[in-house]
Amino acid sequence: MRNDRLTAPCLRRTDERPIGDAARLIRSNEADTAICVGTEACVIKVSLAGFAAARSLSTGFNETPEKASRSFDAGFVMGEGAGILVIEAFTQALARSSYHIWSGRRQRHTPGNRDCNISGIRSS
């Protein structure tokens, strides 16, 4: 096991960069498995001040915070998050009889198009 760590300070694109790097490493046989991690920690004074000045933040739901996120009506709630995705070579997944969710034969995934999603899932 090799522990290569790559960081990608690319502003709003840090979630896509590790996935692309992982795919490149797997395709070039430099890795069989890659763990992709993306985070965003944007709740800082300057971000809050900017969105507050633009009146984009929700302010009218302090007593009922579960109803506060109304992005297109009364503002949004800033948050932070993270995600982890494990990607492995298809041949490795087959060798361990893994059930694959998506084979990568499609070059894009369009959540808003039901027929495209069904077609992509069936062909994988």
- Is 94 contained in some domain? yes
The mean pLDDT value for 65-89 works out to 83
Domain residue limits at 62? 11-123
Which one-letter DSSP state was computed for residue 98? Answer: P
| 6 DSSP β-pair partners | none
- Is 29 contained in some domain? yes
The rounded mean pLDDT for the chain is 76
Per-residue confidence (pLDDT) for residue 27, from 0 to 100: 92
CA dihedral of residues 44, 46, 48, 53 (deg, nearest 10): 180
- Is 86 contained in some domain? yes
Q: What is the number of domains present in the chain? A: 1
Give me the CATH number covering residue 55.
Answer: 3.40.47.10
- Is 4 contained in some domain? no
Predicted TM-score (pTM) of the model is 0.54
Q: Please name the amino acid found at residue 111.
A: P
Q: How confident is the model at residue 53 (pLDDT cuts 50, 70, 90)?
A: very high
